[in-house]
Amino acid sequence: MRTRFSYLFSALALFGLAACETTDVDPIKASERPEETSDEAGLWLQMDGAERLLKASAIVERDPALNDYVRGVTCQVIGEDYCNDVRVYVVKQPYFNANMAPNGQMQIWTGLLLRAENEAQLAFVIGHEFAHYKQRHSLQQWREIKNAANASLVFSAGIIAAGVPDAAVLGDITLAARLYGFGRGKEREADQLGFQFATDAGYDGHEAAAIWKYLVSEVENSDLERNRRQIARSSIFSTHPVTSERIETLTAFAEDGEAGTVRQREYIATTSPFLAKWLEADLVRRDFGENIFLINHLIKRGEGLGLLFYRRGEAHRIRRGEGDAIRALADYRKASSFEDVPATVWRQIGDAERTKGDGAAAMAAYQTYLEKAPEAPDRQLVKSYLNKLDE
Amino acid sequence: MFSTVKKISTMVIFLSVQACVGIQTVGPGPFDVQKTMQVTVGKEWTKYPFEPKTGLQGLTIDGVSLNSLTFGVNIKDGKALIYSSDPKTLVPRFRSDMTDSEAVEYIKDSLIYSGMKNVSLANLRPETFGIATGVRFDIAADTERGLNMSGTGKTVIHNGVLQLILYIAPTEYYYDLHIEEVNEILKSATLL
Ligand SMILES: [Zn+2]
């Protein structure tokens, strides 16, 4: 057990005026822990604190089946030896993101799970993140920042690690990595090693570039011009490799390798129970262009169509662009012909028909809604609509 | 790090603690919100300064994280309950042609956007709001840190603008502590 003294000591090591330390570090071995008084131990200690917050928070998806699955893929990719060193958290955030803390805390955000198409793509993400851990990229980065002798930079990195409340829950490394980036070199290394880990575990190398290709096409449909510009041509000052370069490199890796498994069925079976929730959360971002592009992409799978047409109707309804009201109603009608449609589709059809002025169609839809969802939270409200339409 | 150009914007959200300047108390008695809405409060509440960028006015008794009563007045078409310095930021925005349940959805999505997790609505029901009929609703949610929260509120769209009263408090102990007072306040709301 760590004593208070050792905590202080690590903190001192972390903030102390260390002479230029080597940023050249050996990969971490399985079960290896940092020396108790090292700067690395200090980094770990801070991340342990952040991880305790994360564990207790409401942003962690705790579904056992999903967690078992992600954990299984992780152990497959990183190998049994490292499996106990890495803890994977599925984090309920609608953005495409994953990150790795130096102490072995890995976060996979639900916005990424929503967009990955198969297990192989998830495996590459895990491989990439694990590479950051194994190569001790956080420690290297920490020492690079310190060696830059920019006291204010070091200080603010400390502040970040100490935690702004919300950032603390998400794990400070996210924010720190966003501010400083792991840098192009480390990201390239993580791509290369991640590719190796995933293909060694038997996954198909072509999927590594595929997830990026999909992402580029989605962001090209963003409602936010800034996003569309950035994905098209990342700035030369960008700390991340340009996305197109990343895709080219990963594609070249795959050409040299042999084909592997993709495991799309397993992936879809595990994630489809969350699709309704994740798509709803994605729409809260209000990037209708991306949300509709994503739904259309999922529709191509040819399953879960009741839910998917319903969700597209929701995006059209909330967007309120020209012709969107008609599109929304058409989506809802189409969705309602599938078995897996949520009962709320009938309530939306009722609202759309009522707005259009078709009282009879609205009443029919509201009645169907109340029959199919007798415990609906808006039951009384819908009943009041029915009473008004009946007058 | 495996992320895209997207960033989670840091924004001032309407439930956040504001600077401790200009704090006054109100009640017991009538309380006017921006000469638009009037309620009658039965206890003494601490009033935070009106936030013109979002149109939100906050009251609390024990501190904003223990009980917050938020008034939103004259929310106009295109307005967000979440403040962002960049007007192009994608956030839930009010539309004057929303149905009353869409108004509640807008409030719910704004709460989610601002970081509340596992937000669910219950008991949506028509309730008078001044001279108009609005919607009353209950809310359950968790803070990011994992604290269970309960809430209740009402909203109305009248003459193309949205009015809102929302009470949120930790489910354990604090929600019940002032719920009778809050129910009376909600009942007393009139539009001026
Ligand atoms: Zn990375």
Do residues A156 and A97 both lie within one domain?
yes
Does residue A265 belong to any structural domain of this protein? no
Whether residue B74 contacts residue B55, with contact meaning beta carbons closer than 8 Å, is answered with: yes
Cβ–Cβ below 8 Å for A219 and B88:
no
Sequence-distant (≥ 6) Cβ neighbours of residue A277 within 8 angstroms: none
Q: Which superfamily does B17-191 belong to? A: Mog1/PsbP, alpha/beta/alpha sandwich (3.40.1000.10)
Q: Which residue of A has its CA nearest to B108?
A: A284
Probe site for chain B from A110, A237, A286 (most B CB atoms < 10 A)? A286
Do residues A207 and A295 both lie within one domain?
no
* Residue A190 alpha carbon to ligand 1 centre in Å: 6
**pLDDT bracket for residue A148 (50, 70, 90):** low
Section A184-211 average pLDDT: 92
DSSP-based three-state secondary structure for A237 = coil
> Looking at residue B22, what is its pLDDT?
59
Cα angle A27, A32, A33 (rounded to 5 degrees) comes to 110
Could you report the per-residue pLDDT of A115-128, keeping only the tens digit for each?
A: 999 999 999 999 99
Distance CA A357, CA A328 (A): 16
Q: How many CB atoms lie within 10 A of CB A146?
A: 23
Chain B partners within 8 Å of A378 (Cβ): 101, 121, 124
Distance CA A334, CA A19 (A): 67
Domain end, chosen from A193, A224, A255, is at A255
The token pair that represents A4 in the structure block: 């208070």
Provide φ and ψ at B89, rounded to 5°: -50, 135
Q: How far is B63 from chain A (nearest CA, A)?
A: 17
Could you report the per-residue pLDDT of A218-262, keeping only the tens digit for each?
A: 988 999 887 777 666 554 344 455 677 888 888 998 988 778 999
B145 lies within 8 A of chain A by CB? yes
Do residues A189 and A314 both lie within one domain?
no
Domain end, chosen from A255, A284, A303, is at A255
Q: How far is A243 from chain B (nearest CA, A)?
A: 9
Q: How far is A97 from chain B (nearest CA, A)?
A: 4
- Tokens 């109340």 correspond to what residue? A370
> Looking at residue A257, what is its pLDDT?
77
Does residue A103 belong to any structural domain of this protein? yes
Distance CA B23, CA A195 (A): 57
Q: Which of A152-166, A248-262, B25-39, B49-63 has the lowest mean pLDDT?
A: A152-166
Distance CA A44, CA A172 (A): 12
Sign, CA dihedral B43-B30-B81-B162, equals positive
Does residue A264 belong to any structural domain of this protein? no
Do residues A63 and A208 both lie within one domain?
yes
Distance CA B14, CA B50 (A): 11
Could you report the per-residue pLDDT of A278-336, keeping only the tens digit for each?
A: 999 999 999 999 999 999 999 999 999 999 999 999 999 999 999 999 999 999 999 99
Q: Which residue of B has its CA nearest to A137?
A: B1
Choose among B1, B91, B112: nearest Cβ to A182.
Answer: B1
B40 lies within 8 A of chain A by CB? no
Does residue A24 belong to any structural domain of this protein? yes
Cβ–Cβ below 8 Å for B5 and A227:
yes
* Residue A289 alpha carbon to ligand 1 centre in Å: 26
Does residue A260 belong to any structural domain of this protein? no
B159 lies within 8 A of chain A by CB? no
Compute CA distances A210 → A196, A217, A289, B165, whole Å.
16, 11, 20, 47
Compute CA distances B141 → B109, B112, B117, B120, whole Å.
12, 9, 6, 6
Does residue A137 belong to any structural domain of this protein? yes
Do residues A155 and A221 both lie within one domain?
yes
The token pair that represents A121 in the structure block: 């793509």
Cβ–Cβ below 8 Å for B113 and A284:
yes
Choose among B5, B118, B122: nearest Cβ to A377.
Answer: B122
Q: In 3D, which of B144, B166, B157 has the Cα closest to residue B39?
A: B166
Do residues A241 and A291 both lie within one domain?
no
Q: In 3D, which of B132, B146, B139, B28 has the Cα closest to residue A53?
A: B146
Domain count, chain A: 2
Whether residue A114 contacts residue A106, with contact meaning beta carbons closer than 8 Å, is answered with: no
**pLDDT bracket for residue B33 (50, 70, 90):** very high
Cβ–Cβ below 8 Å for A58 and B142:
yes
Angle between helix A4-15 and A151-162 (nearest 10): 140
Q: In 3D, which of A172, A77, A179 has the Cα closest to residue A119?
A: A77
Cis peptide before B49 (omega within 30 of 0): no
Chain A partners within 8 Å of B9 (Cβ): none
Q: How far is B160 from chain A (nearest CA, A)?
A: 16
* Residue A173 alpha carbon to ligand 1 centre in Å: 12
Q: Ion ligand 1 — residues with CB under 5 Å?
A: A 187, 190; B 1-2
Q: Following DSSP, what letter does each residue of chain B receive, concatenated?
A: -EE-S--PPP-B-TTSPPPS-S-EEE-SEEEEETTTEEEEESS-EEEPPPBTTTTEEEEESS-TTT-EEEEEEEEPTT--SSB-SSTT-------TT--HHHHHHHHHHHHHHTT-EEEEEEEEEEEEETTEEEEEEEEEEE-TT--EEEEEEEEEEETTEEEEEEEEEETTTHHHHHHHHHHHHHHH-EE-
Burial class from Cβ neighbours inside 10 Å (0-12, 13-18, 19+) for residue A68 reads exposed
Choose among A57, A96, A129: nearest Cβ to B4.
Answer: A96
> Looking at residue A231, what is its pLDDT?
65
Choose among B1, B5, B126: nearest Cβ to A177.
Answer: B1
- Tokens 């976060």 correspond to what residue? A107
> Domain limits of chain B?
17-191
**pLDDT bracket for residue A16 (50, 70, 90):** very low
Do residues A301 and A212 both lie within one domain?
no
Chain B partners within 8 Å of A174 (Cβ): 1
Could you report the per-residue pLDDT of B143-175, keeping only the tens digit for each?
A: 988 999 999 999 999 999 999 999 999 999 999
Chain B partners within 8 Å of A285 (Cβ): 90, 113
The token pair that represents A344 in the structure block: 């709320």
Chain B partners within 8 Å of A276 (Cβ): none
Domain end, chosen from A255, A289, A305, is at A255
Does residue A130 belong to any structural domain of this protein? yes
Name residues 65-104 of chain B within 8 A of A (Cβ).
88, 90-93, 95, 97, 99-102
Do residues A69 and A166 both lie within one domain?
yes
Choose among B88, B126, B147: nearest Cβ to A384.
Answer: B126
Chain B partners within 8 Å of A198 (Cβ): none
Q: How far is residue A217 CA from its own chain's centroid?
A: 17
Cβ–Cβ below 8 Å for B1 and A240:
yes
* Residue B99 alpha carbon to ligand 1 centre in Å: 44
Q: How far apart are the first and last CA of chain B?
A: 53
Angle between helix A64-78 and A183-200 (nearest 10): 100
Enclosing domain of residue A35: 2-255
Give me the CATH number covering residue A335: 1.25.40.10
Do residues A46 and A189 both lie within one domain?
yes
Do residues A296 and A332 both lie within one domain?
yes
Do residues A306 and A366 both lie within one domain?
yes
Choose among B7, B113, B146: nearest Cβ to A57.
Answer: B146
- Indicate whether this complex's ipTM tops 0.85: yes
Do residues A231 and A282 both lie within one domain?
no
**pLDDT bracket for residue A177 (50, 70, 90):** very low
Chain A partners within 8 Å of B100 (Cβ): 381
